[in-house]
């Protein structure tokens, strides 16, 4: 543990974030369209959603690595410990990336440069941010690899990425992300490309390292299983907006948004006998052609006429549980039966 | 790494034998021999010519001729020229190859020096004015045939402007030291540029597209996420990966340069291997033709070997296979 900390101290505050992408046909895709959330120190927050829901764009916006000039953060605010990231110059932002915010990517093999040694790639941020000498940085690289659970680290530093397995490389990527003691780690689908057996090891490692260093994790995933295993809080994203926010326990026990309910129902459950797996009809609308009202309305079983008029606000339906659905306005009813009962049909 | 290189070198041997066979075969099946054609006095008796053929071994069966030739090639003897007062072929080639080598090296350097910075710039600022200019130049460079580009350069820079000589490899005899060196260089500029034009165009485009390709790859995003600056991202991570295929191509290029120089040398009347080659073809001087063919094939093979070795040096993924 690195000193005493207040669990509720906010680390990252994102407010009204809008990131638009200009497509080749000049249309604007609202990849992230008004996202607000807070990540507290020591927490793991999961950002869940289908592909195309804008979750990766949210993380790239925090890193300010949106591909320019087609992509642009149009408005909003991203504060890391009160420091406004969107106002930093590119040079200042370089000091945040890899130093205050570490990042872990989906496919470990393609997130390392194939022509440089592992040691060089871990040493690189240390030399830049911590001004370490070459020798010192390599020594630290070995320590980091050991910490990431790679025993023969002094040999691995001399190796190239293609000589290691996927799970080993992801440990290397985690070591790189952790190298400069970041306050926040953004993990973009960190286990998607890995074998199931390796997945929970990697998640376990991340949680362990997070607790050791008192950092916070923003875990981006489409895998509900990963959420239940590793996260404290969940945000469900749909069509560039957050549609539901709650603690993991609360969300699994009491999902509110019809989309979340559908998402949970589409997870196979071993204890329930099912003929067919539930699925949500239709696909995520493309972000340049969102429907006028609620973005989920065209796929929603409970949609009423009012849903197609205006985009609903995110409302706090109960303690620390927010949902963007018109059906919860001022009432405490669920739009449908308990989804677990439905599963047994 | 060593095993890889040794394996490559071993593969080199059967290829060399195959090449020697093809070189000989081509000369063998070509119609006519040095004693046919208009250069031979028609008054000479056919019987005398036949005796001459017998003495030269032209009437021997294919395999006898081939193994005779191969035997002497193995000893480093490529036979005697029929045309140049029976000088040895290896002697003739050696007297010319240095000029061709200068020309090749000059054009290769020209290619690298011009294509690399422009290619990198085009990738950094795609669709900028300079990028469009480079693209236009690249298409022109590829579309204009070598001999025409050569004539164009001669017209503009030798006749109109008079900056560079249009002929030969050295102007006045009696120059020495630095003067001699600079005179050589001055003579190289026009033919060297001509020879390098097409490959410069190709490499420019190649470096541009490779750089753009690497720039959008996941690991470059990951490097940026580590907080690396622009320079490191561009010149260390991107360029290093973008150059892998380029370096490999350069190996092949070097092998190709010697043979590519034939036409350019003819245009500039440059006394290299190419002009010797053309003369020999016109005179049906088969020993010289075979000798040069062999040398050119061997340089291409060596170029390929170099390319393979370079590839392994720059790409660790190849080294350990």
Q: Which residue of B has its CA nearest to A159?
A: B316
Q: What does the radius of gyration of chain B's CA atoms come to, in whole angstroms? A: 24
CA distance, residue B308 to nearest chain A CA (Å): 16
How confident is residue A319, by pLDDT bands cut at 50, 70 and 90? confident
Higher pLDDT, B55 or A29: A29
In whole angstroms, give the CA distance from residue A66 to residue A21. 9
- Look at residue A251 and give its three-state secondary structure: helix
- Is residue B78 within 8 Å of residue B291, measured between CB atoms? yes
A267 and chain B: CB distance < 8 Å anywhere? Answer: no
CA distance, residue B4 to nearest chain A CA (Å): 17
Q: What is the pLDDT along chain B (321 residues), one digit of tens a residue?
A: 778 888 888 888 898 889 888 888 888 887 777 676 656 677 777 788 788 777 777 777 888 888 888 888 888 887 778 777 778 888 888 888 888 888 888 888 999 999 999 999 998 888 888 889 998 988 888 888 888 888 888 888 888 887 888 777 777 667 777 777 788 888 888 888 888 888 889 899 999 999 999 988 889 999 999 989 888 998 999 998 998 888 878 877 877 777 778 888 888 888 888 888 888 888 878 888 888 888 888 888 888 888 888 888 888 887 765
Give me the residue spans of the domains in chain A. Answer: 254-343
Residue A344 has pLDDT above 60, yes or no: no
CA distance, residue A97 to nearest chain B CA (Å): 4
Higher pLDDT, A323 or B166: A323
Helices vs. strands in chain A: H and E counts, helices first = 11, 12
A115 with B218: Cβ contact below 8 A? no
For the residues A291-305, what does the mean pLDDT come to?
88
B231 and chain A: CB distance < 8 Å anywhere? Answer: no
- Is residue A235 within 8 Å of residue A253, measured between CB atoms? no
Q: Which residue of A has its CA nearest to B214?
A: A113
- Is residue A178 within 8 Å of residue A213, measured between CB atoms? yes
- Is residue B121 within 8 Å of residue B130, measured between CB atoms? yes
| Residues facing A38 on adjacent strands | A13
For chain B, how many residues are written? 321
List CB contacts (< 8 A) between A155 and chain B. none
Q: Which residues contact A246 (CB under 8 A, 6 or more apart)?
A: A233, A234, A254, A320, A321, A322
Please tell me the predicted confidence (pLDDT) of residue A137: 93
- Is residue B319 within 8 Å of residue B244, measured between CB atoms? no
> Which of residues 192 through 211 in chain B touch A, CB cutoff 8 A?
none
A108 and chain B: CB distance < 8 Å anywhere? Answer: no
Residue A67 has pLDDT above 80, yes or no: yes
Least confident segment among A38-42, A290-294, B47-51, B316-320: B316-320
Q: Which residue of B has its CA nearest to A103?
A: B225
A92 and chain B: CB distance < 8 Å anywhere? Answer: no
CA distance, residue A152 to nearest chain B CA (Å): 20
B226 with A98: Cβ contact below 8 A? yes
How many CB atoms are closer than 10 A to CB B300? 19
B222 and chain A: CB distance < 8 Å anywhere? Answer: yes
Please measure the distance between the N-terminal and C-terminal CA atoms of chain B and give it in whole angstroms.
9
Q: Which residues contact B256 (CB under 8 A, 6 or more apart)?
A: B300, B303
Give me the residue spans of the domains in chain B. Answer: 2-74, 96-319
Secondary structure of chain B in the HEC alphabet?
CHHHHHHHHHHHHHHHHHHHHHHHHHHHHCCCCCCCCCCCCCCCCHHHHHHHHHHHCCCCCHHHHHHHHHHHHHCCCCCECCCCCCCEHHHHHHHHHHHHHHHHHHHHHHHHHHHHHHHHHHHHCCCCHHHHHHHHHHHHHHHCCHHHHHHHHHHHHHHHCCCCCCCCCCCCCCCCHHHHHHHHHHHHHHHHHHHHHHHHHHHHHHHHHHHHHHHCCHHHHHHHHCCCCHHHHHHHHHHHHHHHHHHHHHHHHHHHHHHHHHHHHHHCCCCCHHHHHHHHHHCCCHHHHHHHHHHHHHHHHHHHHHHHHHHHHHCHHHHCC
A97 with B227: Cβ contact below 8 A? yes
Pairing of strands A71-80, A10-22: antiparallel
Please tell me the predicted confidence (pLDDT) of residue A331: 52
B316 with A95: Cβ contact below 8 A? no
Residue A10 has pLDDT above 60, yes or no: yes
How confident is residue A7, by pLDDT bands cut at 50, 70 and 90? low
List CB contacts (< 8 A) between B239 and chain A. none
B315 and chain A: CB distance < 8 Å anywhere? Answer: yes
Residue-wise pLDDT for A74-109, tens only, equals: 999 999 999 999 999 999 999 999 999 999 988 888
Please tell me the predicted confidence (pLDDT) of residue A132: 92
CATH topology of domain B96-319: MetI-like fold (1.10.3720)
Please tell me the predicted confidence (pLDDT) of residue B75: 83
E strands, A206-308, where? 216-221, 233-238, 241-247
How confident is residue A1, by pLDDT bands cut at 50, 70 and 90? very low
B228 and chain A: CB distance < 8 Å anywhere? Answer: yes
- Is residue A256 within 8 Å of residue A334, measured between CB atoms? yes
In whole angstroms, give the CA distance from residue A203 to residue A180. 20
In whole angstroms, give the CA distance from residue B129 to residue A196. 51
Please tell me the predicted confidence (pLDDT) of residue B321: 54
Please tell me the predicted confidence (pLDDT) of residue A345: 36
Query: Count of A–B CB contacts within 8 Å?
Result: 77
List CB contacts (< 8 A) between B226 and chain A. 97-98, 124-125, 128, 176
> Which of residues 112 through 141 in chain A touch B, CB cutoff 8 A?
112-116, 124-125, 128-129
List CB contacts (< 8 A) between A65 and chain B. 221, 224-225
């Amino acid at each position: 543990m690195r000193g005493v900390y207040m669990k509720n101290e906010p680390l990252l505050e994102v407010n009204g974030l809008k990131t638009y992408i200009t497509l080749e046909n000049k249309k604007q895709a609202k990849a992230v369209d008004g996202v607000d959330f807070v990540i507290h120190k020591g927490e793991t927050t999961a950002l869940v959603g289908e592909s195309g829901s804008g979750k990766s764009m949210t993380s790239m916006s925090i890193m300010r690595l949106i591909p320019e000039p087609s992509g642009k953060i149009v408005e909003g605010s991203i504060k890391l410990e009160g420091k406004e990231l969107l106002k930093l110059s590119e040079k200042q932002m370089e000091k945040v990336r890899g130093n205050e915010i570490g990042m872990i990517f989906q496919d470990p093999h393609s997130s390392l440069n194939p022509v440089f040694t592992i040691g060089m790639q871990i040493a690189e941020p240390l030399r830049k941010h911590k001004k370490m000498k070459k020798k010192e940085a390599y020594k630290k690289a070995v320590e980091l690899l050991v910490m990431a659970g790679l025993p023969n680290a002094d040999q691995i530093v001399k190796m190239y990425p293609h000589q290691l397995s996927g799970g080993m490389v992801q440990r290397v990527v985690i070591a790189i992300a952790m190298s400069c003691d970041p306050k926040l780690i953004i993990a973009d689908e960190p286990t998607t490309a890995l074998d199931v057996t390796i997945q929970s090891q990697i998640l376990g490692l991340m949680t362990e390292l997070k607790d050791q260093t008192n950092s916070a994790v923003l875990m981006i995933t489409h895998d509900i299983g990963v959420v239940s295993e590793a996260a404290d809080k969940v945000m469900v994203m749909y069509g560039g907006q957050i549609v539901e926010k709650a603690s993991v326990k609360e969300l699994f026990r009491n999902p509110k948004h019809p989309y979340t309910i559908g998402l949970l129902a589409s997870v196979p459950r071993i204890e329930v006998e099912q003929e067919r797996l539930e699925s949500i009809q239709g696909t995520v609308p493309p972000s340049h052609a969102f429907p006028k009202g609620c973005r989920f309305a065209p796929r929603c079983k409970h949609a009423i006429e009012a849903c197609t008029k205006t985009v609903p606000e995110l409302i706090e339906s109960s303690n620390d549980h927010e949902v963007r659905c018109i059906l919860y306005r001022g009432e405490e009813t669920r739009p449908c039966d308990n989804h677990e009962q439905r599963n047994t049909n | 790494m060593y095993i890889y290189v040794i394996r490559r070198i071993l593969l080199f041997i059967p290829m060399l034998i195959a090449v020697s066979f093809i070189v000989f075969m081509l000369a063998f099946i070509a119609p006519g021999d040095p004693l046919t054609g208009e250069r031979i006095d028609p008054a000479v008796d056919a019987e005398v010519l036949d005796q001459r053929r017998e003495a030269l071994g032209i009437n021997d069966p294919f395999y006898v001729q081939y193994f005779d030739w191969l035997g002497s090639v193995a000893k480093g003897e490529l036979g005697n020229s029929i045309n140049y007062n029976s000088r040895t072929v290896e002697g003739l080639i050696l007297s010319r190859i240095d000029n061709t080598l200068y020309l090749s090296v000059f054009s290769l350097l020209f290619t690298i020096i011009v294509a690399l910075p422009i290619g990198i710039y085009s990738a950094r600022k795609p669709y900028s004015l300079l990028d469009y200019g480079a693209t236009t130049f690249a298409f022109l460079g590829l579309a204009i045939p070598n001999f025409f580009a050569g004539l164009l350069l001669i017209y503009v820079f030798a006749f109109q402007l008079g900056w560079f000589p249009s002929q030969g490899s050295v102007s006045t005899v009696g120059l020495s030291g630095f003067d001699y060196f600079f005179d050589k260089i001055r003579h190289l500029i026009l033919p060297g540029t001509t020879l390098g034009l097409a490959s410069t165009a190709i490499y420019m485009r190649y470096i541009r597209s490779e750089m753009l390709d690497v720039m959008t790859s996941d690991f470059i995003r990951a490097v940026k996420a580590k907080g690396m600056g622009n320079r490191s991202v561009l010149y260390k991570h991107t360029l290093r990966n973008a150059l892998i295929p380029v370096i490999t191509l350069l190996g092949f290029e070097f092998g190709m340069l010697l043979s590519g120089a034939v036409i350019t040398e003819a245009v500039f009347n440059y006394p290299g291997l190419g002009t010797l080659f053309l003369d020999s073809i016109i005179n049906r001087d088969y020993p010289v033709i075979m000798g040069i063919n062999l040398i050119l094939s061997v340089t291409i093979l060596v170029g390929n070997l170099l390319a393979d070795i370079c590839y392994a040096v720059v790409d660790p993924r190849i080294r350990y296979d």
